Structure 1
């Protein structure tokens, strides 16, 4: 089977299938002076998220006589404008995309609308379990779950084949390291630049079921799970299989194009980046699940994801009703969610979307491998993870201390201990 078809064609097909043939049966027909007609309901999102939400709004508007529009902002611009609006209590849009760690930050400041009473149990059952913990702040659902980042190892088929590496034989991280040793000296198995450290650490920490903070709020990033992650990163470096090229730099893309880096631990959304930026490498990629820390261990984790929220300063109930109805429609209609996946690489947390044929399509970019099915399997095995207002402190401390570790200045145990003490000091929390 071929790769997903032209985006504009798929968009028209979705509009025909949903907007003109019964989207109203999937989403409540709420109108009126505030929610419908010429009165615009504005949303904010970044880059591809904005494009995906705008496409969903097209079908919703067509059927419900509403005027929902989405402003596309750069990620940094979105963050700055939303933070200013939430902090000042004015200027926020009717709805917005929100990254996982920002739900806790804005929700704890009473900046987001509690959606708990609006979400039906049937809807809850259709969303990946671990995603609900991401949007929950002190027992309240302050956002609606959207996309997730089920993880895997993207790899260059030619480099693996030339070195005699069978990805199916890589079941543990020890296997991964040993396979990396088979590569030529000028080819690295994996890249670990400084700006990647905290994200890679959290992905692996979560794979082990780790939590940055205990239930009573104590700092826990010096736990046994964290030491194991730090030791793994150190073992990779000591084995001589790593490189440190700046993430998203020209050199980073060139390394994968030329095959001087053979593997890329990441999430499903990386698919869109690879296709867009490295189209000349089509057919030379594959994906396998994260190796486990021990034989038979968990091979699933999550990296990234976003949600939909309504700022608390939006007080018109009719507007809130219409806005929520659109959000629920966009987030719980399988055809819409799968359009977002095909066009923009946004992997749904909606499990009912996984029944579609696209998950079993043999994709040319991956030499016929149906990678969406692999990610769907991973998605349903993801361990829950809690974010707090001090998650940024964790990111900063882990980046600093594990960076020093990789430079040879301290042991894994000392690195995570120092990181934990830094977070405890800056957040006024106890150590676990």
Structure 2
């Protein structure tokens, strides 16, 4: 690849590397090292406060391998720090946690190890399809998934009942549209969407489910098609109808205080969002305990059972490190072997089929599950989420500059939800902005 896409990272490298320099391996190309003896540096975040215990268990099982965990705080800070370390060619960690969509960014530039050399490609059937597919580049795995975020349909049964809508009968997006009209007549909105950057993941999930391919990445070549692609046309037409008929709240942004208030008072009646949402509803909308339910994501075609992912994280091995074999052993432990169960026990929604299908995961009488199930009116929530996670998904790629894509989405698409321009025009503008940035980064970009 050219050097253009390294420029921004180099400018910021010095400041970021102060706290992380001296960590990780030096440059090495193809040196796998020993699987049983290494000192590893691991970057990532630890929302469940579980890393210390899991690492201790790994080291006990693998006495020759030591792991030092550097908590980099957030996904964004971690990917930025990795970009800076790669640009500076020093301080690169041996293992790094990344959000699933950013894995492509580092795979395309050749900064991650192809894990198929360690047999990771043989693990495909052990993971659910959505997370696994996101981590492939040129049909090879460049990370292993920690968790899953299948998009699900969460709805407030009390509000739906008031509007005369049976939530269980919503099987397609056409059904959803008809329900939205009844819910609006009853004084609520079926959901919100303001086109802000926080809507980017739900957008990619629903476009993905529609079979859309808004961008294709082939090494240095990128093709962007936001308006002519059949799946995108289907998605744009449907969303424009919701905007034009004022069937969704276009003023309230996801994760805002207003959003939680509207979920809590019934103004917002449903969400299509990742399977990790239950705990957020429980804390953000406590007054609705017993009213919320969860079901399958509406389908674009009747009779289908196609899913898509909304969120997720993974572990990768930077190519520069000298101990790739030991690093992969740790990655596999955390995502596939004993550590994966420990992660699940700490609250992570696993992407491993054996965990999702286990009786312990779906046991309605466990303390953790009972608390969630009570909030959801007695549903066995994990059982429903596990089934959703194992539905088939289409192939989908992310751009190799995904953080920019998310920010630019909010800048451009919000104009359509504010009714300044049509969604088709906003997507066209968005495509051009993505293309301009890609060219600045050194890619050859074509806009259809």
TM norm structure 1: 0.81
Quick one: distance in 2 between partners of 1:399 and 1:225? 21
Displacement after TM superposition at 1:420 (Å): 2.9
Q: Is the 8 A contact 2:130 2:150 kept in 1?
A: no
* CA positional deviation for 1:190: 0.3
Identify the match of residue 64 of structure 1 among 55, 62, 65. 62
Check 1:300–1:237 CA distance in 2 against 1; reply closer, same or farther (3 A cut): same
- Number of aligned residue pairs: give it: 392
Q: Which residue matches 1:188?
A: 189
Structure 2 CA distance for partners of 1:282 and 1:323, relative to 1, 3 Å: farther
Q: Provide Cα deviations, 1:48-82, integer angstroms capped at 9, x if missing partner.
A: 26x34444323222333354343333214323322
Q: Which residue of 2 aligns with 1:224?
A: 230
Question: For the Cα contact (< 8 Å) 2:163–2:186, is it kept in 1?
Answer: no
Structure 1 regions of 5+ residues with no counterpart?
1-28, 36-40
State the shift of 1:348 in Å: 2.3
Q: How far is 1:425 from its partner?
A: 4.1
- C-alpha distance in 1 between matches for 2:62 and 2:262: 48
Deviation for aligned residue 1:118? 0.5
Q: Tell me how far 1:396 sits from its aligned partner.
A: 4.8
Q: How does 1:399-414 map to 2 (within 5 A)?
A: 399-414=410-425
Residue pair 1:177, 1:239 contacting (<8 A) in 2 also: no
Partner of residue 269 from structure 2, selected from 262, 279, 284: 262
* Aligned-pair CA distance for 1:390: 4.4
| 1:13-412 mapped onto 2 (5 Å cutoff) | 31-32=36-37, 34-35=38-39, 41-48=40-47, 51-65=49-63, 66-75=65-74, 76-120=76-120, 122-183=122-183, 186-193=187-194, 194-214=196-216, 217-222=222-227, 223-243=229-249, 244-279=251-286, 281-315=288-322, 317=323, 320-333=324-337, 336-344=339-347, 346-362=348-364, 363-380=373-390, 381-392=392-403, 394-396=405-407, 398-412=409-423
Deviations 1:336-363 (A, max 9, x none): 434434533x322222222201443342
Contact 2:36 2:62 in 1 (8 A): yes
Distance 1:343 1:284 in 2: 26
**Separation in 1, partners of 2:345, 2:292:** 18
RMSD of equivalent CA atoms: 2.7
Instruction: Give the drift of 1:387.
Output: 1.9
Residues 208 and 308, structure 2, Cα contact 8 Å, conserved in 1:
yes
- Separation in 2, partners of 1:71, 1:275: 31
Question: Which range is displaced more, 123-132 or 249-258?
Answer: 123-132
The answer on whether the counterparts of 1:189 and 1:241 sit within 8 Å (CA) in structure 2 is yes
Are 1:418 and 2:429 matched, yes or no? yes
After superposition, give the CA deviation of every residue in 1:17-47 in whole Å (9 maximum; x if it has no partner).
xxxxxxxxxxxx9654x34xxxxx3322124
Change (3 A) 1:250 1:226: same
- Structure 1 residues 327, 132: closer, same or farther in 2, change over 3 A? same
Whether the 8 Å CA contact 1:197–1:403 is kept in 2: the answer is: no
Decide which moves more: 129-138 or 103-112. 129-138
Structure 2 unaligned regions, length at least 5 = 1-33, 365-372, 440-444
SS of 1:42's equivalent?
strand
Q: Offset of 1:153 from its aligned partner?
A: 1.5
Contact preservation (8 Å) 1:100, 1:387: no
Query: Which has the higher mean CA deviation after the structures are superposed, 103-112 or 272-281?
Result: 272-281
From the superposition, tell whether residues 70 and 386 of structure 1 become closer, same or farther in structure 2 (CA, over 3 Å): same
Q: For residues 398 and 250 of structure 1, do their structure 2 counterparts lie closer, same or farther at Cα, with a shift above 3 Å needed?
A: closer
Alpha-carbon distance in 2 for matches of 1:426, 1:215: 14
Paired residues of 1:424 and 1:431 also in contact (CA < 8 A): yes
* Cα pair distance change 1:54/1:278, threshold 3 Å: farther
Stretch deviating more after TM superposition (239-248 or 278-287):
278-287
Q: Conserved in 2, the CA contact under 8 Å of 1:145 and 1:306?
A: yes
Task: Provide the secondary structure at the position in 2 that maps to 1:148.
Answer: coil
